[in-house]
Amino acid sequence: MMKLEDLCTFVESNFDFLLVVDPDEKIVRANRPLARECASNKTQLEGRLLKDVLTEPSLNTFAFAMGDVREGRRGIAVYSPKAKASYSLPLRAAYSDTDSGGVYLFFGFRRDDLSNGSDWDKKQRIRELTCLYSVAEGIELTGTVQEFFDLLPEYISSGMCYPDATVCYAVYQGMEYGRKPANCLRVELTVNRQACGEILVGYMSDEYELLPEEQKMLNEIGRMVSLALERKTLSERLTDLEKEIEVRTKDLEEQNRKLSIVDSNLDMVNKGWEESKTHLEAMFQAIPDAVAIIDRNHRLVMTNRQGVEPGTKCHQAFFDRDIPCENCRLKRIIADKSPLTLTIKHNDKYLQVYAMPIYNQNQEVDGIIEFFRDVTLEMTYEQQIQQADKMASLGQLVSGVGHEINNPNQFIQGNIKILKQALDDMLPIVEEYHKDHPDLKIARLKYDFFREHIMTLVDDMARGSERIKGIVKALRSFAQRNEGLLTDTIEVNTIIEDSVRLVHDEVHKRADIDLKLAEDLHTFAGNSQKIEQVLINLILNAGQAMPNDRRGRITIRTSTVGPDAILIEIQDNGRGMSEQTAKQIFDPFFTTKRNIGGTGLGLPIAYRIIEEHHGSISVESKLGEGTTFSIRIPSTSGS
């Protein structure tokens, strides 16, 4: 950005009169020739407003000129001071941004300069001044150096005697602009007293004579351009330096802040290191369950188990194996980068294992820490109680009744298929016979009625047989012995989404399903197929609970309850249940849907599955409003 003082010096060196006005129409500068020519040597113009100095008509011309240059047009003002109202001097107008802000410049020549001399001298002087003004204006208005040099031929040609024949060529920092003339005037461009380029000006042919006045004008242009390039170079260097200083300062401040934090943390760590180490070793040895820290190579780093040396392979130390376990926790955690809890069987013992990853400074799994708890007694007692409870409920009914029912049911299923095939073959023959005997009856039924309903009867028999088969299968599933091993890592939301997809076609006939699943739920150890079985059973029940006169809605929610439990809620707006019914729904064989195939075993089996996962299931229902089943299961984080 040009300094105001430099701009005024430049204009005064090329014009006789100069008047500088700020946007508030206050006179910033008025050179002495203007004061002498237009008013009086004693008149002080600087600091006064134009309205206090000029006549009203003159003031209007200044206002119009300022508006024109603001919009990029050329402006002319007539200077007629009140002190010498009969005097009038035309001044050219311009606008420029300076270090003191935006200013309007009004400049011109004495009338005598243009009235004396020949017409050629006057024209040459006008061309020269126009050229210098255009160059000065171009320096201020063009945004880049390249843009200025591209327009330079246009600026310079206006000051030459033969503008249309003028050829201009410039070089700056190795970049060339325009084309070289054969016979030319030359001026060197310097920045910080070092040559950085040159400007060559000439005509298209030698028939045009180059004048000394043109060389003088070119010298002035060279001085103006060199000064502008020097200011631009300095400005760019200062800007780059300021940016670099700002970046370096921010970096140093950030480094100082980080170093301060690190120093503080190191002081705290060093102060409590020995004490923490002692406490940690004591706590590690005092843990009643077996604990082991294992590296990525399956070697024990530390353990509280007596008689086991660090460096021993974990599968050798704990399971007397030469190769890693089939369901290796280390391998799973390295792949998943998440803790896991599962129950394993080794020899005659059941061990509940909780394993979690140990990360290195690159956030990679560097090993694991495992906690082993012997739950053999709990598992044995639980299985005995479960089996005794089942046998007390069912006795020997399942095996005996299941066998006795399945044998004749298989005959029924096979015979139904044969009967259906026979009817498919026979009915076309009977159809032909019926055409000649319209009074035909079969099983004392008119043939038309018989023909319409016989296949429906056969299909009903087939569905009834399949229902018998399903009841027997459910009975066997309920009474079947379960080892109770929880080996899968369960992601509740994924299981719910899979279950909804499986039952969508069946449930969508009667109800819409809304999923409101919480994010970032913990996992838990269990059996994914059994959990899916529970969810499918509850969703199907909710769909069947919808009244026939309206479409229902089923809402499935998940959330975290307390620090270590996951809550699953399956809510419907169906018919609901009475208080008495709600108390009995988990009893084996109790059902309110026997007429549509209900066995009364689905919810009791679901109840047992949730118990196997150390959880609980409850129900809340109101007649005419709907039912909500709530399942709570401990998560891995709380294990």
pLDDT tens digits, residue range 149-208?
Answer: 888 888 888 778 778 788 899 998 888 998 888 788 899 988 888 888 999 998 887 777
Q: Is position 332 within any domain?
A: yes
Encode burial over 570-585: b for 16+ CB neighbours within 10 A, e otherwise: bbbbbbbbeeeebeeb
In CATH, what number is assigned to the domain containing residue 601? 3.30.565.10
pLDDT given at position 597? 55
Q: Give the residue from 47, 107, 41, 35 showing the smallest Cα distance to 76.
A: 107
Length of the chain: 639
Among residues 342, 374, 406, which one ends one of the domains? 374
Q: Give the residue from 396, 364, 369 showing the smallest Cα distance to 287.
A: 369
pLDDT exceeds 60 at position 638: no
Whole domain around residue 350: which residue ranges?
287-374
pLDDT given at position 632? 94
Number of domains into which the chain is organized: 5
Domain shared by 15 and 82, yes or no:
yes
pLDDT given at position 554? 95
pLDDT given at position 517? 93
Q: Is position 199 within any domain?
A: yes
Domain shared by 509 and 548, yes or no:
yes
Domain shared by 632 and 497, yes or no:
yes
Domain shared by 474 and 494, yes or no:
no
Encode burial over 383-403: b for 16+ CB neighbours within 10 A, e otherwise: eeebeeebeeebeeebeeebe
pLDDT given at position 1? 67
Domain shared by 431 and 497, yes or no:
no
In CATH, what number is assigned to the domain containing residue 178? 3.30.450
Q: Is position 383 within any domain?
A: no
Domain shared by 467 and 527, yes or no:
no
Decide which of 275 and 392 is more confident: 275
- Tell me what percent of the residues of the chain surpass a pLDDT of 70: 83
Region of poorest pLDDT, from 11-25, 297-311, 611-625: 297-311
Residues 252-260: what's their mean pLDDT? 87
Dihedral Cα 189, 191, 196, 198, nearest 10 deg: 0
Q: Is position 369 within any domain?
A: yes
Q: Is position 501 within any domain?
A: yes
pLDDT exceeds 90 at position 514: yes
Q: Is position 124 within any domain?
A: no
- pLDDT tens digits, 94-132: 888 888 889 999 988 775 444 444 455 555 656 666 676
Question: What single-letter amino acid sits at 90?
Answer: P
Q: Is position 127 within any domain?
A: no
Residues 594-609: what's their mean pLDDT? 76
Q: Is position 129 within any domain?
A: no
Average pLDDT across the chain, whole number: 81
State how far the Cα of 33 lies from the Cα of 7, in Å rounded to an integer: 17
pLDDT exceeds 60 at position 537: yes
Strands 552-561 and 511-517 come out as: parallel
Decide which of 236 and 449 is more confident: 449
Decide which of 456 and 555 is more confident: 555
Domain shared by 311 and 333, yes or no:
yes
Domain shared by 492 and 623, yes or no:
yes
In CATH, what number is assigned to the domain containing residue 61? 3.30.450.20
State how far the Cα of 619 lies from the Cα of 484, in Å rounded to an integer: 25
Domain shared by 21 and 97, yes or no:
yes
- pLDDT tens digits, 28-82: 998 888 877 665 444 578 889 999 988 888 888 899 889 888 887 778 888 888 8
